[in-house]
Structure 1
Amino acid sequence: MTGWRPLASLGLALGLAGLLAGCERRQTPGPPAVHSGEGTQSATAALAAAAPRFEGPPAPPATPTKGHPRLWVRAADLPKLRARATQANPLFKELAAVTAEAAAAMDKGDIPSEGDCTHARIYCEAHAELFAFMSLVSSDEAARNDYAARARKILLTIVDRVNKGDPQDPFVRRFSTGDRARWAGESFGLTVDWIYGYLSAQDKAAIRPVFLRWAEEQLQSSTTSHDHPEPVGKLNDPAMLKEPRKRRYAVNNYFTSHMRNLTLLSLAFDEADDPPDPKPSGTYPRLRDYFANVTGAWLYMTDSVLRNDARGGAPPEGFQYGPATLAYVSETLLAIQTAGEADPAKWGPQVHLDGNPFWHEFIPAHLHSLSPATPAGRLGPTHEAAWTGDGERYEYTDHIDPFAALGLHAENSGNAERLNALRWMAIHAGPGGAAALARRARSQLGQTHKRHSILYFLLLDPAVTPTDPRPSIPLTHYGPGLGQVFARTSWGPEATWLQFQLGWEQIDHQHGDGLSFGFYRGGEWLTKERVGYGAFMANSEQHNTLAVENDKNRRHDDPNRGELWRRGSQWPLVHTGDPRVLAKSFAQDYVYVLGDATPLYNSEYENIRDVTHVSRALVWLKPDHLVLYDRAATGKDGRFKRFFVQTPSAAQVAGKLATATTAKGQKLFVTTVLPENAVVVAEPYKPTGTWDTKPAENEPMLATLRVEPPAPMPKDARFLHVLQGAAGNATADPVALVRTKRGTPFVGAAVKGTLVLFPVELGAVSEVQFTTLAGVAKHVVTGLSPGASYDVIRKPAADGDEITIRTGSAAKADEGGVLAF
């Protein structure tokens, strides 16, 4: 992670005008999934259950843009942008200050420079992009000419070095597919487009071979696994989507960055300046021919994964890498739109952003991923994230890249609702909130680019004050592709908040976090996963889930893979199949989710398959109680089954009750109801001293609670826990175990007047009969048939009312098979 330097606090006064409302919202259906049945929840009916928000209009007619600029910015946009480019606009004021600093450095000879061509940790090509943009929006013609000359000088300096071909030159050695191209590779295509009129025929003749070389290198890139479409040259072919592990890399950050860069390279040149090479050294004879590969291979795959495997609006790689991935995809789609190539009839439905429901769901998913309260961060009050995946620092970072790309696309397509939401998020959701907007707009958070300053200026109109979109968003959100459930009691800072995760784990930076959850109350996490980076932190012990011992894996001598086996972890990258969310219910006073994670614990690649069942049923009794029922089974005796919860401090254990205290003095009570005579161990987390065992910076979960059955370890184990959040002076609510007497076996726990019951085994339920407890006023019975009707028969008995549930007509189970009465 790079550092930062503080700046003087600058306020931002936005205008009072609001966005016009009333844009008609219509959902455009996308193409059917070509791999139905694969993925966490990819059946058409299951995906359709996630109601879209912020829908876009149908694809408008598209005509290829002939002039320049045409990438991200169009010639028709320039009068509006130049009108905003005044010192009265606080965002332009920051952009102008950033540009002045860059110009001064260039005048001193610091830009461009030798070696890696950086200045103040900013890449030269990012400075070229900055000057090229200012050559478009500056209101003074002389200034525009000067900025264009600066951008041209930097661009041609780099191009000359590439054409010389020194293998030791940083611009030659794997440059176009490495990290630098991922972080700032958009600069080249954008710079050429934005200063196209200033480039001579000789300039273009020098630039074009470099772009052709880099374009071809994208097609053959091997920076990580499967980071280009395979096989190369196939277009719009379902064979590219057949194998899940290869397909899902289409939402990896390298794959998508190559796609973005290839898009911009292929669209920057005019046809007249891009003649076909009679003897091409690459796959295609012209730059523009690579665009067919963008749409028919790269975007064809990415669109399918977002539409199916990752449906729901959240990035699969998590909060460190996922925002960049979504930025690269949305920046690709924005460029296609502004270039006039968003024509589904010509290129396929993948070029129409609004046709993919993932983008309708992005805003609700993102807002649901942010904590209700905003504790202090580096720039001021900042949300915490419902983190998944790798993380070097537990810190919510600036998401202006996807916000701006999606917002500009929405503005161009007339989607006022989406544009309003993204503008509001850019101002208020970022680190430090609205008070730190100017500092974020200066791109001074250790960035390797100046793109952020440009994007803030492009997205935010000082004459418009966006309104908070959250009141119109439901308090629950379900992402079926990754099995994510988000729920909260309100959109206010005092809300209690739940997050649950059960998704596939087959690309870089994903962790063994299936069935993991987070619980937030009183402005802080009571429990969540422990964030970290690398293979050690990916193991399931670091998450709020189960660890189950399996056969010894074939690569047990490998330090990373062997460690996963020894700790009973799920298998990121190589698990046998996909987990499934089997049921969910969102009610006014409870949330229920049932998931089967069994395939995550087995791996045909590692030749292990002894875990026969792992599932979790979770009921949140709003606002303060969670009831969890876990099933874990192996084919062999003696294999450990362990329940893990990460805690903010080492819990005090007294019998079945463990009590952890948060930094603010709140209490997390964890009552172990099953297994009986369980071994409960609470201890601080202690890194081993190697980098990979260190938690992320600012990680608040400092301890671990582990529960397992007593020896000898059975083949089949059941865990039943009640978690309670409470004020610091509170005591734990009593918890009682309840088992059914006859019919299908159920087990559950009663707490604070509510009894929650779960089937001991998953499957058909014939009849449920149990004796309720004194003081129980409400019953939540899970595991029934969704939407089926039942009779509830209550008979007084000596030790409490005897209740029988059987098929009937008096009451109906909800969509998740829960009967509450």
Structure 2
Amino acid sequence: MQRISMLVLLLILVGCGVATPAPSSPATTSVSGEATNLPPDSTKTSLPVIMTGDPNTHPRLWLTQADLPRLRAWASDSNPMYRDGLKLVAEEAKITMDAGDVPTRDCGSTEYEEFPTEMYAELFAFMSLIDPNEAARADYAQRARTLLMYIINIAAEGPAENDDYLCPETQSTGYPPFRSPRFFTEDSNRARWHGEAFPLVVDWIYPVLSASDKAAIRGVFLRWSDEIVQRAYHHPEPVGVINDPSLITDTNQVRWSGNNYFVAHMRNLGMMALAFDANDDANNQLRDYLNNATGAWLYIFDHLTRTDSKGGLLPEGFEYSPQTASYAIQFLLALQTAGKDTCGPHCKLTENPFWDDFVTSYLHSLSSNPTEDPNHGLVYQPAWYGDAQSYHLVDFINAFGSLGIYDQRTGNAARLAKVRWIETVTPPGGADGLIERVGNPNDFRDAIIYFMLFDPTAAVATDPRPSLPLDFYAEGMHKIFSRTSWADDTGWFNFSLSWNFIDHQQADGNHFEWFRNGEWLTKARTGYADIAEGIASSEFRNLIALENDQPDRDPSDWRIDLWQRGSQWNLVPTGDPTLVAHSLDSRFTYALGDATNLYNSENEATTDISHASRSIVWLKPDTIVTYDRGTSQTANRFKRWWLQLPTPAIINGNRATMTTAGGQSLNITSLLPAGATLTAVNLADQQSENTAASDDPMKVRLRIDAPGNPQDVRFLQVLQAANSGVTPANVSLIQASSGNYAGAQIGSQVVLFPINVDQAFATIEYSTANPANLQLITGLQPNTGYTVQRNGNNISISQGGSQMSDSGGVLVIE
């Protein structure tokens, strides 16, 4: 493979009329207040204008000719987003290119590169459209062309057969630059991180490209498109079938469409097809790939967002879902600007309620207020799910920014205002760090999208959260978010019971988390396992662990690790869990989840667990009661209850107490099983420690073991939170003298649960230790009448009567 030397590169740059400015250091501006991205005299409200794309003109991807006057007006030194952000990024990028670092220091691999050539080309191509100076625009266009054609001319040689090329930059051996057989397909990280750059650059500098340039680009795009369709990660099958219900009959195929690689390939495939004009694409050979991108890839993904991801949450969690969402929105935006969103409801973002829920679920997934982090400044605490390399909220600019740009174009002023507030306030660093985020982006695309999102004449967006309900249920992933308010001292409770069949999910069926007065009392311990073992197991969630049959696997296999921990199964469970019932009430939040299928794996022939379910009630604001049922077919197998904690618990009989750094106490009383052993587990195995997120506040655990490894067990735990110096209410066990019920009294509150969830209702009779002013009887038929009789502290409940249970089957007695 021939590489362009530094001398040849410089000659190309000179020949293209590229100036070489004197080196300069970029300035970063730290500002304060939510309005810092706006000029001081900005008072008017932005009124988005509905615009449609023209497929016969350029640019037509993410922006159109009609947008250019407005964006060039924003590219002014009176706009700090441009002056101290995008402009500085572009000037530094020119210096990097003129120094020869780009493209010569790009190894052209499928993984991380410090100087990805196409990322620089995308920035220069954008500046060629919006820089207010005509000469500067021409210079940027030639820079973008030089870098684009550098890659294209090499890639045009086709995939390399040998991977023995030594990259001078990294001294690593691999395929020659840009010629890996999987450079733009399979699980190439480069294709998902920067794949949009290629079609964007082509579209944004289309008039600058010669006929021979376009022919070379088209040849490469055709090969890449075919590789995506035939070999991309979990690509739609059968290949070639479009807009057909047969594509969504396989539930696993639908769920894998929520994978970040899948959606990135969808974006790349569709945008390459959109970039070319008909007269430059003989027989519409490249442009016809758009039908595959929309009719297969987007068709399946859209179905996922209306079913198993309904409610705004994608399956791979906070590590990858922000990327997945951004790739989808960027493709939908490209369809809109190109006037190609007429291929059905799945091609219009405005037709899918998922994207409104995407905004709402994000807001519900964050703590009410930020806290100070030594590494990231002000940060909101996320209700994390899925794999985590680091426990801190990432900037969703690529997703929310792209969504906001779409909303600018389609007139959705309400959602646009929410997005602008989100991207001003919630990323690490908050409003004070807004301009710095633009001027020091992780990817140049970030700066481009920030610039396009923030109209410098728009009014300051206000906090949208006070208008939201305090409870939110994401139906597809079965996640419940519940809080007492949006204030600093809020109580916040989360519950999860998601299906678990694709990458980056963790064993969290029936898991709960609790945040209070600005601190996590308990949450999952996050991390990133090699596959699904260790830190991704149920042992590091707030769950029961149940010993099952041993899989027939090598001792080092990840499935052996999950078995040893009594974990639910990642990737290979027998089936989905069931959220049997839930109630969202101003006084309590309740859920009943059956996770039996998650503890068994027919794939691994481990099917000994005959039942595993949890009933849980959050008595707002300071008490959680859990009732867990675990049954195995084989006797003498361990059954444990796990709770993750930020500081070690002190054990005293059946009670454990943990005190947070802020002085709050969490008191855990174990009522069932009788004689259970409580253990403070303050160390984890080295494998788990190596894969745990180092900045996670959860460091230790509480373990409760059922004595004698019974075949059938009930765990009943009461968790009480209190401020420093406050003594929690007394706790006592209640066991019905008649009927299938047990529970707890906490002060003047009572919660009862069915002992066996499949047993038909019979009259319940029980006594409370003290008078009770609130009693919750769970597990009943929803919206059904009952009769309640009292004789002092003795209560009898029978079916039929005027007192109604709620939609979740909870009877409230006050």
For normalisation by structure 1, the TM-score amounts to 0.89
Q: Which of the numbers 154, 179, 182 marks the counterpart of 2:189?
A: 179
Correspondence for 2:16: none
Correspondence for 2:660: 662
Instruction: Measure, in 2, the Cα distance between the counterparts of 1:514 and 1:691.
Output: 20
Q: Contact (CA 8 Å) 1:601, 1:611: kept in 2 or not?
A: yes
Is 2:62 the partner of 1:72?
yes
Correspondence for 1:756: 751
Is 2:480 the partner of 1:485?
yes
Correspondences of 1:530-545 after superposition (within 5 Å): 530-534=525-529, 535=532, 536-545=534-543
Correspondence for 1:46: none
Instruction: Measure, in 2, the Cα distance between the counterparts of 1:62 and 1:438.
Output: 30
Q: Which of the numbers 129, 146, 167 marks the counterpart of 1:136?
A: 129
Q: Contact (CA 8 Å) 1:519, 1:528: kept in 2 or not?
A: yes
Correspondence for 2:606: 608
Correspondences of 1:32-181 after superposition (within 5 Å): 65-93=55-83, 94-116=85-107, 121-165=114-158, 167=160, 168-173=175-180, 174-177=182-185, 178-181=188-191
Q: Which of the numbers 776, 789, 794 marks the counterpart of 2:790?
A: 794
Q: Contact (CA 8 Å) 2:491, 2:516: kept in 1 or not?
A: yes
Q: Contact (CA 8 Å) 1:398, 1:440: kept in 2 or not?
A: no
Is 2:363 the partner of 1:342?
no
Q: Contact (CA 8 Å) 1:354, 1:360: kept in 2 or not?
A: no
Closer/same/farther in 2, CA of residues 497 and 442 from structure 1, 3 Å limit: same
Closer/same/farther in 2, CA of residues 795 and 114 from structure 1, 3 Å limit: closer
What's the CA shift for 1:325? 0.7
Is 2:424 the partner of 1:427?
yes
Closer/same/farther in 2, CA of residues 243 and 166 from structure 1, 3 Å limit: closer
Correspondence for 1:368: 364
Instruction: Measure, in 2, the Cα distance between the counterparts of 1:129 and 1:596.
Output: 49
Amino acid in the other structure paired with 2:444:
K
Is 2:382 the partner of 1:385?
yes
Q: Contact (CA 8 Å) 1:132, 1:151: kept in 2 or not?
A: yes
Q: Contact (CA 8 Å) 2:546, 2:640: kept in 1 or not?
A: yes
Q: Contact (CA 8 Å) 2:37, 2:81: kept in 1 or not?
A: no
SS in 1 for 2:104: coil
Instruction: Measure, in 1, the Cα distance between the counterparts of 2:438 and 2:548.
Output: 50
Q: Deviation string for 1:242-276 (max 9, x for gaps)? A: 22222211000110111111111110001111113
Q: Contact (CA 8 Å) 1:475, 1:490: kept in 2 or not?
A: yes
SS in 1 for 2:199: helix
Q: Deviation string for 1:198-249 (max 9, x for gaps)? A: 11111101111111111111112355xx2x1122111122222222222211
Q: Which of the numbers 449, 452, 475 marks the counterpart of 1:455?
A: 449
SS in 2 for 1:164: coil
Is 2:703 the partner of 1:695?
no
Correspondence for 1:48: none
Is 2:262 the partner of 1:255?
yes
Amino acid in the other structure paired with 1:635:
Q
Amino acid in the other structure paired with 1:460:
F
Correspondence for 2:404: 407
Amino acid in the other structure paired with 1:527:
T
Correspondences of 1:486-525 after superposition (within 5 Å): 486-525=481-520
Instruction: Measure, in 2, the Cα distance between the counterparts of 1:758 and 1:334.
Output: 49
What's the CA shift for 1:786? 1.0
Q: Deviation string for 1:499-550 (max 9, x for gaps)? A: 1110011110100111111100111100001001112211110111111111
Closer/same/farther in 2, CA of residues 684 and 715 from structure 1, 3 Å limit: same
Instruction: Measure, in 2, the Cα distance between the counterparts of 1:104 and 1:20.
Output: 35
What's the CA shift for 1:120? 8.6
Once the two structures are overlaid, the 10-residue window that deviates more, 100-109 or 453-462, is: 100-109
Is 2:808 the partner of 1:816?
yes
Q: Which of the numbers 221, 224, 246 marks the counterpart of 1:239?
A: 246
Is 2:312 the partner of 1:313?
yes
Closer/same/farther in 2, CA of residues 756 and 19 from structure 1, 3 Å limit: farther
Closer/same/farther in 2, CA of residues 120 and 216 from structure 1, 3 Å limit: closer
Amino acid in the other structure paired with 2:146:
K
Closer/same/farther in 2, CA of residues 691 and 623 from structure 1, 3 Å limit: closer
Amino acid in the other structure paired with 1:319:
F
1 or 2 for the larger relative contact order (CA 8 Å, sep ≥6)? 1
Correspondence for 1:212: 222
Instruction: Measure, in 1, the Cα distance between the counterparts of 2:448 and 2:587.
Output: 45
**How many residues are treated as equivalent by the alignment?**
757
Q: Deviation string for 1:689-746 (max 9, x for gaps)? A: x4774310201111111112101x222110111111122333332211111112x311
Amino acid in the other structure paired with 1:461:
D
Instruction: Measure, in 1, the Cα distance between the counterparts of 2:267 and 2:113.
Output: 26
Instruction: Measure, in 2, the Cα distance between the counterparts of 1:83 and 1:533.
Output: 45
Amino acid in the other structure paired with 1:95:
L
Instruction: Measure, in 1, the Cα distance between the counterparts of 2:105 and 2:115.
Output: 14
Instruction: Measure, in 2, the Cα distance between the counterparts of 1:623 and 1:589.
Output: 8
Q: Deviation string for 1:469-522 (max 9, x for gaps)? A: 111110110011111000111112221111111001111010011111110011
Closer/same/farther in 2, CA of residues 117 and 216 from structure 1, 3 Å limit: closer
SS in 2 for 1:287: coil
Instruction: Measure, in 1, the Cα distance between the counterparts of 2:224 and 2:37.
Output: 43
Instruction: Measure, in 2, the Cα distance between the counterparts of 1:757 and 1:114.
Output: 66
Correspondence for 1:43: none
Closer/same/farther in 2, CA of residues 222 and 272 from structure 1, 3 Å limit: closer
Instruction: Measure, in 2, the Cα distance between the counterparts of 1:99 and 1:127.
Output: 9
What's the CA shift for 1:439? 1.5
Correspondences of 1:621-640 after superposition (within 5 Å): 621-640=619-638
- Measured on the aligned residues, the alpha-carbon RMSD in Å equals 2.0
Correspondence for 1:41: none
SS in 2 for 1:569: coil
Instruction: Measure, in 2, the Cα distance between the counterparts of 1:632 and 1:411.
Output: 52
Instruction: Measure, in 1, the Cα distance between the counterparts of 2:512 and 2:198.
Output: 42
Instruction: Measure, in 2, the Cα distance between the counterparts of 1:685 and 1:728.
Output: 27
Correspondence for 1:279: none
Q: Which of the numbers 348, 356, 359 marks the counterpart of 2:355?
A: 359
Amino acid in the other structure paired with 2:38:
L
Amino acid in the other structure paired with 1:215:
S
SS in 2 for 1:112: helix
Q: Contact (CA 8 Å) 1:18, 1:466: kept in 2 or not?
A: no
SS in 2 for 1:65: coil
Is 2:737 the partner of 1:741?
yes
Instruction: Measure, in 2, the Cα distance between the counterparts of 1:810 and 1:325.
Output: 49
Correspondences of 1:321-340 after superposition (within 5 Å): 321-340=320-339
Q: Contact (CA 8 Å) 2:106, 2:116: kept in 1 or not?
A: no
SS in 2 for 1:485: strand
Instruction: Measure, in 2, the Cα distance between the counterparts of 1:275 and 1:652.
Output: 75
Is 2:204 the partner of 1:194?
yes
Correspondences of 1:553-592 after superposition (within 5 Å): 553-555=551-553, 557-592=555-590
Q: Contact (CA 8 Å) 1:589, 1:622: kept in 2 or not?
A: yes
Q: Contact (CA 8 Å) 2:108, 2:178: kept in 1 or not?
A: no
Amino acid in the other structure paired with 2:183:
F
Q: Deviation string for 1:98-120 (max 9, x for gaps)? A: 00001112222222215526999
What's the CA shift for 1:20? 6.5
Q: Contact (CA 8 Å) 1:639, 1:715: kept in 2 or not?
A: yes
Q: Contact (CA 8 Å) 1:19, 1:466: kept in 2 or not?
A: no
Q: Contact (CA 8 Å) 2:68, 2:129: kept in 1 or not?
A: yes
Instruction: Measure, in 1, the Cα distance between the counterparts of 2:731 and 2:76.
Output: 64
Aligned sequence identity (%)? 44
Q: Contact (CA 8 Å) 1:687, 1:694: kept in 2 or not?
A: no
SS in 2 for 1:135: helix
